[in-house]
Amino acid sequence: MTHRTAEPATLEELVEGLLAALGEDPKREGLLRTPGRVARSLSYLTSGYRMDLEEIVNGAIFHEDAREMVLVRDIEFYSLCEHHLLPFYGRAHVAYLPEGRVIGLSKLPRIVEMFARRLQVQERMTTQIAEAVQEVLQPSGVGVVVESSHLCMMMRGVAKQSSKATTSCLLGAFRDDPRTRGEFLSLVRGG
């Protein structure tokens, strides 16, 4: 007797099965195209898995005699909680202390996007962003603060609409120097 391995189902087939398991009729007029739409949506929402840090940076690192803090605030992001596949969204604040090299400012939001467009937990995403900036620039410090609202807390479970989660990752001088840390946190707050 030979055992055949079943071909993996496509995202569309899985969504169709999900609709049926929820008690819906996937052949109903309003749902006919839903499996395809959901498959395309999930592919986009998880596109960060197919992004590469080196390609994102694309050589946009420049030699500059800069030593003062560089901060890009209020980088909007949308992600999916890996526990419930529900969205969480908010803003990331990314800073670094150059050591003679700076990165094109638009690359910091692109780095945030790369890690947000995955199944995530906010804590890991915050650290991944900081470590990526550290990897490409080798600055004397990196600071990342992420503030977000989680639909898994708003729509289900505790159902708290106004709660926000804040995470931070501080590397190098942002962790070791209280003045640098204080300046960064003050700037993040808008001070």
Catalytic residue list: 81-84, 122, 150, 152
Neighbours of 102 (CB within 10 A): 19
